[in-house]
Amino acid sequence: MHDQPPIELGLLLYPGVQLATVHGLTDLFEIAGRFTGTAEDAERPRLRVSHWRLEEGDAAPRRVYDSLPATSGSPNVLILPPSLAEPITPAAAAPYRDWLRQQHGAGVRLASICAGAFLLAETGLLDGRTATTHWLHVERFAARFPRVSLDADQLLIDGEDLVTAGGLMAWTDLGLRLVDRYLGAKRMLDTARILVIDPPGRQQRYYSAFSPRLSHGDSAVLAVQEWLQETGAQDLGLDTLAQRAGLEPRTLLRRFRQATGMTTTAYGQQLRVGRARELLQTSRLPLERVAWEVGYSDPGAFRKVFTRVVGLSPGDYRRRFGGVAGGR
């Protein structure tokens, strides 16, 4: 019944790769390929799952696992999984760069997960494009690949030929997105139900913690950052902050943005929202009291800021992560 060639989804086993992701995606794709309950299912192409590795003495990676070994053809997608070690170095990435560029040039879609974005970015293919990676790697990635537009709030960015996914467990989102693309929404939802996982649609900012820049070397700005942290950013008045820094207000604003990449107001909001997230996860305080505790006398203003920063309302955040009913 399968007249169409199979869809091959390949996983690249580079040094330090997280094997849990490799095996998890292999299982997800093989589960997705088992649904044959309807005539429509029977007419869809089969999924072929392969693992690729650069063996000693080889000029390029080759298949070391193939779920359909008697089948010819090349991958439709090559996935670069996360690394449990530090993100791959330029030297370690060098043997893969040209091969990945050749695959992309031949029409193969490339996808990365978490720190796998470092290997993808080493090809130069992400230059001028928008990508995501794990929120812990944001500063390192931005410094190493300044030509890539980084949006780490997003858990998955689908640029058609290049797809990047954020956190370590974002392989579930990527896997389901690929099943949806090649086998349709029904097959994707069936696979998600079998695995008891959410369909794609999450955002990484639901989970990320604020990680301020502290290694910029500006002692005046650092003094303000430390004071804001100690006081929970209760007072964001520019005159107060300038006095703490020993600078004129305009000078502080310029130097603070240069050092942290943010305005003093945005920085304070991040600290306040971070504290609010803790309270929403661990307490049963009413939302109005949470707002007051983190420095907002107006609950409506608090909800607006929280929703803009996190992507969920305070009530939705509590229901999702705190397990406490009663928020709104």
Distance between CA 47 and CA 30 in Å, rounded?
7
Contacts of 306 (CB under 8 A, 6+ apart): 273, 276, 313, 314, 317
> Is the model's pLDDT at 140 over the cut of 50?
yes
How high is the pLDDT of residue 37?
55
What is the DSSP secondary-structure string of 212-247? ----S--HHHHHHHHHHHHHTT----HHHHHHHHTS
- Mean pLDDT in residue range 16-25: 96
pTM of the model: 0.67
How high is the pLDDT of residue 209?
67
HSE, side-chain direction, 13 A CA sphere, residue 299: 10
Q: Which two tokens stand for residue 310?
A: 């996190």
> Is the model's pLDDT at 325 over the cut of 60?
no
What is the phi-psi region of residue 311: left when phi exceeds 0, alpha when psi lies from -120 to 50, beta otherwise?
left
How high is the pLDDT of residue 327?
43
Distance between CA 78 and CA 61 in Å, rounded?
11
Q: For 236-281, how does the pLDDT look when each residue is reduced to its tens digit (9 = 90+)?
A: 999 999 999 999 999 999 999 999 988 999 999 999 998 898 888 8
How high is the pLDDT of residue 295?
93
pLDDT band at residue 216 using 50, 70 and 90 as cut-offs: confident
Q: For 193-215, how does the pLDDT look when each residue is reduced to its tens digit (9 = 90+)?
A: 898 887 766 666 666 667 788 77
Looking at the chain, how many residues does it have? Answer: 328
> Is the model's pLDDT at 179 over the cut of 70?
yes
- Mean pLDDT in residue range 296-309: 93
With beta carbons less than 8 A apart as the criterion, state whether 197 and 172 touch. yes
Helix axes 249-260, 264-282, angle to 10 degrees: 60
- Mean pLDDT in residue range 59-64: 94
How high is the pLDDT of residue 328?
43
> Is the model's pLDDT at 62 over the cut of 50?
yes
Q: For 91-105, how does the pLDDT look when each residue is reduced to its tens digit (9 = 90+)?
A: 999 999 999 999 999
Residue 217 has a CB neighbour count (10 Å cut-off) of 8
